[in-house]
Amino acid sequence: MRRLASAAAIVAVLVLAACTGNGGGKAQHGNPGGGQQKGGTLYVNAARAFTHLDPQRDYYGDIIDFESRTIVRTLTTFPAVEGAASTDVVPDVATDTGTRSADAKTWTFTLKPDVKWQDGKPVTCADFKYGISRTFAQDVISNGPSYALDYLNIPRDDSGQAAYNGPYKKQGQAAFDKSIDCPSPNKIVFHLRHPVADFYQTLTMPAFAAVRQDKDTGPKYDAEVFSDGPYMIQGSWDLRRGGTLVRNPNWVPSSDNVRKAYPDKIVTTFGDTAETVYQKLEADNGTQKNTVTTTNGPPAAVATVLSGPMQGRSESVNDGFIHYLSVNVDKVPNKQVRQAIAMAVDRTAYVTAWGGSAAGSPANSLISPLLKAYTKYDPFGVGDKGNPDKAKAVMQASGVHLPYPITFEYSKDATQDKAATNLKAELEKAGFKVTLDGLNPDTYYDVIANPSQTSELTWARWASDWPSGSTVIPPLMDGRQNISKTTLGNDYAAYNDPTTNQAIDTALSLTDAAAQQQAWSALDQRVVKDGVIIPMMASKSVYLYGSNVKGFLLNAAYGGFVDLAVVAVQ
Amino acid sequence: MITEIEDVLGDHVTAGAIEGRSPGSVTWQRLRRDRITMASLAVVVLLALLAIAAPILRALHVIDPDTPHPELVQGLGSVPTGPFSGASAEHWLGVVPGVGQDVLSRVLFGLTFDFTIAAAATALTVLIGTTVGLVSGYYGRWVDASLSRVTDLVLAFPQLLMLIALSPLFLGQPPRNTRVVVYLIVVLALFGWPYLARVIRSEVLSLRELEYVTAARSLGAGPVRILVRELLPALRGPILVYATIVLPTYVSAEAALAYLGISLQPPFPTLGTVLNDALPYVTSDTTYLLVPGVALVLVVLAFNLLGDGLADAMNPRSGQM
């Protein structure tokens, strides 16, 4: 789980660079609920193409959201509701959210009888088992999440990898067959390597979706997904340009309590820049009236979109990303100095630099307020605005020489330059001498993960893979899985604390989900209090949609992207 | 543009022909009658004075280009609170969206940076261009042939593209401010000198045949003395005009490079960084875009008009065209 989770984490971070997403509460001016009718064509126009449609290869929030609502069903899924409630996982193909053994290592699900493939055949346990097995064929099914490799109880080889190489080469097939059991076509039993208290949440990922063996075309499946959802691909799908989805005649609405499937047809187009996507939506001509986008509003569009005539067809949503600063513990070994940095920063000024309340809200924890593991917390009693004077007193008491020189590395753009300018001013008031290093965004995370290039203070942002602290704390704060000679992984603070690591192991083995989330929160507070992590902002995304779109909803559980389960056109 | 300059400068030698007065005073008299040129001269002097004053004013805490005032930018999307970029008695031309620094201070300080870079690069351009032109035109033969080919070669490189392409090589990651400054000056000059070298060379080609040069040579003057003491003074005109015309192009090159990310780390302002930061706010905070935009236009326009006027004054025939 650890190694894989960290790989996942990198992807998550990269994703956000391309597509940050939604904000907390849905704005009041939208038109959620009521008035949705079946029929019509919905257009999805996005700047970034859906790189992988193959459920086992799809690892971006926007695509996961898109296909989970149209052509891919999972055992469990997120409900199509506003705000944090969307993270309360509900059954989809399964009849409930599963039965687990006391040790949380065996999970049993019963499949609904009337879930059908697009050719009318029922979706069975064998289909899920086959779909999940594809993740193991890493040479063919690349880029997807690898949680299955780590979770399923399959013997390890010498290098610690699962001794199974997928359904194409079939080495170790017997071992895999034991890890997922099909006692009957409508019953599936997972045998896990270690306790996973939130496994029913893991199963919301399309990586754990069913694939029909006779329809699997290996690498080509990316554009030939065989649907068990309310829609199916019409003709061929072009990964770069998009394609058209039409109704799946064999989808049984009563088998599905999440997807309303209002439009008759969904047409996707890719390739415009974010600015162009928004210019077209603002103009609201022709098919743009029926258009939604998975590209969030660029900063310059935010003020235009959220005020004036477009107010009625724009939404902002908490997207689950947390912006945070890491203080490198090798370069700043003095805990008091680290804490002084944490006390000096002004989170409200940071939010202002990002565009104010439309862009996010001040954060005090690494775990998003959307997650159950979130606890409101102010470890230094300085509030959101910070207190440079108090920080300076701490600096003077710590006995270090003032001004204390630090370098702040961040991913350079106009917005971040401003946030960095604020930070510099605040920290210099507290007795630091700050050098700002705005780095090339393309290679930013490589540079700050490089022990020889990283600096005292670095910026990053993160969102969970599913709404659990398990996809936040271990991938970011477990030094064992992150740090090697050549890289810090996602642990930009170079933090490798034995007590924390042990607490992570303990938390991972907890079988009680609530207790586990509490443990994550405690660890979150621990790293914040140590001045290792300085949470800055829980970010929001802004979206605009066409004037004929009804029931527009941004789903926070999927990173704040538009939820096609309930969107209709007039 | 090259041919234009050459046309303008081609016959300037005749300017010195009026009896009893020095060429300088003749030129100055002509200039004084040209109102547009005098106005641009006044603007240039004013801008230069502001650029020199900015660091002093900053030291005296009269202007402050760095200190953030987040409380002044609480509009939707963090645009300044209040009209005209939140202009007030303290911030005459408003504050920067998102961070609230004083726009006027940033533009003034940006002016200092841009003028310093452009003036240094211009000086270097003049040094290289004049030297190559003089040597090439005076010695002729293989010296001229080889230097001219080098000139052609450098001319063939697109300057802006080279600036971008070479930047990762020399600037490193992250780009340090001192490196950026040196890089801008050197590379701008390295790709800017060939035009001047060509102008000077063609001037020297005709000058070296004049009687006074022959006379100096027959009196036993060495080539260095002829180049520096006889030819160079006669070239002051074209050099001055070229310098006036090339300086604003360097200022706009700085702005273009800032757009492409080759600029100082914040919070240090340059005209280019302020302008580029303002671009996305064209609809939501127009004033913010206007201030650095007008400043840049003023610099380029004033210098260009001054250069044109100077050329006319030194070369009346082209002025009558």
Q: Is A413 on the interface with B (CB under 8 A)?
A: no
Contact A200, A176 (CB under 8 A): no
Question: Do A352 and B74 make contact, defined as CB atoms within 8 angstroms?
Answer: yes
Question: Do B78 and A349 make contact, defined as CB atoms within 8 angstroms?
Answer: no
- Per-residue DSSP letters for B139-197? H-HHHHHHHHHHHHHHHHS-HHHHHHHHHHHHHTTTTPHHHHHHHHHHHHHHTTHHHHH
Q: Considering only alpha carbons, which residue of chain A is nearest residue B79?
A: A355
- Residue A300's pLDDT is 66
CB nearest to B99's CB, from A299, A418, A443: A418
Q: Which residues of chain A make contact with B73, given a CB cutoff of 8 A?
A: 352, 356
- pLDDT cut 70: percent of chain A above it: 94
Distance CA A357, CA A350 (A): 11
Can you give the pTM of this predicted structure? 0.79
Average the pLDDT over A265-273 and give the result. 90
Q: Considering only alpha carbons, which residue of chain B is nearest residue A409?
A: B174
- Residue B4's pLDDT is 46
CB nearest to A349's CB, from B68, B77, B277: B68
Distance CA B265, CA A435 (A): 9
Give the max Cα distance, chain B.
Answer: 79
Contact A543, A44 (CB under 8 A): no
Is the four-CA dihedral B34, B36, B42, B45 of positive or negative sign?
negative
Minimum distance, in Å, between the CA of residue A546 and any CA atom of chain B: 21
Question: Do A352 and B98 make contact, defined as CB atoms within 8 angstroms?
Answer: yes
> Tokens 């891919």 appear where?
A72
Minimum distance, in Å, between the CA of residue A494 and any CA atom of chain B: 20
Q: What is the mean pLDDT of chain A?
A: 88
Q: Which residues of chain A from 280 to 309 reach within 8 Å of chain B, CB to CB?
A: 298-300, 302-304, 306-307
Question: Do B70 and A346 make contact, defined as CB atoms within 8 angstroms?
Answer: yes
Q: Which residues of chain A make contact with B74, given a CB cutoff of 8 A?
A: 352, 356
Question: Do A300 and B284 make contact, defined as CB atoms within 8 angstroms?
Answer: yes
Mutate to test the interface with A, among B66, B73, B76, B285 (most CBs of A within 10 A): B76
CA dihedral B194, B196, B197, B201 (to 10 degrees): 140
Q: Which residues of chain B make contact with A300, given a CB cutoff of 8 A?
A: 280-281, 283-284
Distance CA A405, CA A424 (A): 11
8-state DSSP, A160: S
Minimum distance, in Å, between the CA of residue A414 and any CA atom of chain B: 6
Which residues are registered as beta bridge partners of A268?
A44
Q: Which residues of chain A from 142 to 201 reach within 8 Å of chain B, CB to CB?
A: none
Residue A23 has pLDDT above 60, yes or no: no
Distance CA A138, CA A157 (A): 16
Contact B103, B96 (CB under 8 A): yes
The more confident residue out of A345 and A304 is: A345
Q: Which residues of chain A make contact with B78, given a CB cutoff of 8 A?
A: 352-356, 359
Q: Is A275 on the interface with B (CB under 8 A)?
A: no
Minimum distance, in Å, between the CA of residue A349 and any CA atom of chain B: 6
Contact B199, B186 (CB under 8 A): no
Contact A226, A117 (CB under 8 A): yes
Residue A7 has pLDDT above 60, yes or no: no
Q: Considering only alpha carbons, which residue of chain B is nearest residue A447?
A: B173
- Per-residue DSSP letters for B78-99? GPPSSHHHH--SSSTT-B-TTT
Average the pLDDT over A298-310 and give the result. 78
Q: Which residues of chain B make contact with A437, given a CB cutoff of 8 A?
A: 174, 265
Contact A555, A569 (CB under 8 A): no
Task: Give A309's pLDDT tier (boundaries 50, 70, 90).
Answer: confident
Minimum distance, in Å, between the CA of residue B279 and any CA atom of chain A: 9
C-alpha B7, offset from chain centre: 21
**pLDDT tens digits in sequence order for chain B, 321 residues long:** 444 444 444 445 455 555 667 777 878 888 888 888 899 999 999 999 999 999 999 899 888 888 888 888 888 778 888 888 888 878 888 898 888 899 999 999 999 999 999 999 999 999 999 999 999 998 888 999 999 999 999 888 887 787 778 777 777 666 678 888 998 898 889 888 999 999 999 999 988 888 898 898 889 888 888 888 888 888 888 899 899 999 999 998 888 888 877 888 888 899 998 988 888 787 778 889 999 999 999 999 999 999 888 888 877 555 443
Q: Which residues of chain A make contact with B267, given a CB cutoff of 8 A?
A: 417, 421, 424, 436
Distance CA A448, CA A411 (A): 10
Q: Considering only alpha carbons, which residue of chain A is nearest residue B68?
A: A422
Q: Considering only alpha carbons, which residue of chain B is nearest residue A413?
A: B261
Q: Where are the alpha helices (DSSP H) in A294-371?
A: 299-306, 335-344, 347-353
Question: Do A415 and B98 make contact, defined as CB atoms within 8 angstroms?
Answer: yes
- Residue A506's pLDDT is 92
Minimum distance, in Å, between the CA of residue A420 and any CA atom of chain B: 8
Distance CA B319, CA B304 (A): 15
Task: Render pLDDT for A99-157 as a digit per residue (tens, 0 to 9).
Answer: 999 999 999 999 999 999 999 999 999 999 999 999 999 888 888 888 898 899 999 88
- Residue B122's pLDDT is 95
- Residue B78's pLDDT is 82
Q: Which residues of chain B make contact with A455, given a CB cutoff of 8 A?
A: none
Q: Is A354 on the interface with B (CB under 8 A)?
A: yes
Q: Which two tokens stand for residue B237?
A: 């005109």
Q: Which two tokens stand for residue B148?
A: 């001219």
Minimum distance, in Å, between the CA of residue A95 and any CA atom of chain B: 45
Question: Do B98 and A418 make contact, defined as CB atoms within 8 angstroms?
Answer: yes
Question: Do A356 and B77 make contact, defined as CB atoms within 8 angstroms?
Answer: yes
> Tokens 């911030």 appear where?
B91
Q: Which two tokens stand for residue A322?
A: 């947390």
A522 burial (CB, 10 Å; 0-12 / 13-18 / 19+) is middle
Tell me how crowded residue B1 is: count the other CB atoms within 10 A of its CB: 8
Question: Do B99 and A355 make contact, defined as CB atoms within 8 angstroms?
Answer: no
Mutate to test the interface with A, among B85, B265, B282, B289 (most CBs of A within 10 A): B265
CB nearest to A300's CB, from B266, B276, B280: B280
Task: Give A28's pLDDT tier (boundaries 50, 70, 90).
Answer: very low
Q: Is A429 on the interface with B (CB under 8 A)?
A: no
CB nearest to A437's CB, from B76, B79, B174: B174
Q: Which residues of chain B make contact with A412, given a CB cutoff of 8 A?
A: 261
- Residue B91's pLDDT is 85
Which residues of B have a CB under 8 Å from any CB of A? Answer: 66-68, 70, 73-79, 96, 98-101, 173-174, 261, 265-267, 276-277, 280-281, 283-284
Minimum distance, in Å, between the CA of residue B293 and any CA atom of chain A: 17
In the chain, the amino acid numbered B21 is R
- Taking phi over 0 as left and psi of -120 to 50 as alpha, with beta for the rest, A122 belongs to beta
Mutate to test the interface with B, among A296, A348, A352 (most CBs of B within 10 A): A352
Distance CA A225, CA A290 (A): 25
Helix axes B35-59, B23-33, angle to 10 degrees: 90
Minimum distance, in Å, between the CA of residue A326 and any CA atom of chain B: 18
Task: Give A219's pLDDT tier (boundaries 50, 70, 90).
Answer: very high
Q: Is A446 on the interface with B (CB under 8 A)?
A: no
Minimum distance, in Å, between the CA of residue A314 and any CA atom of chain B: 14
Task: Render pLDDT for A149-205 as a digit per residue (tens, 0 to 9).
Answer: 889 999 988 777 788 999 999 999 999 999 999 999 999 999 999 899 889 999 999
CB nearest to B70's CB, from A302, A303, A422: A422
CB nearest to A421's CB, from B68, B77, B283: B68
Question: Do B266 and A436 make contact, defined as CB atoms within 8 angstroms?
Answer: yes
Question: Do B283 and A304 make contact, defined as CB atoms within 8 angstroms?
Answer: yes
Q: Is A102 on the interface with B (CB under 8 A)?
A: no
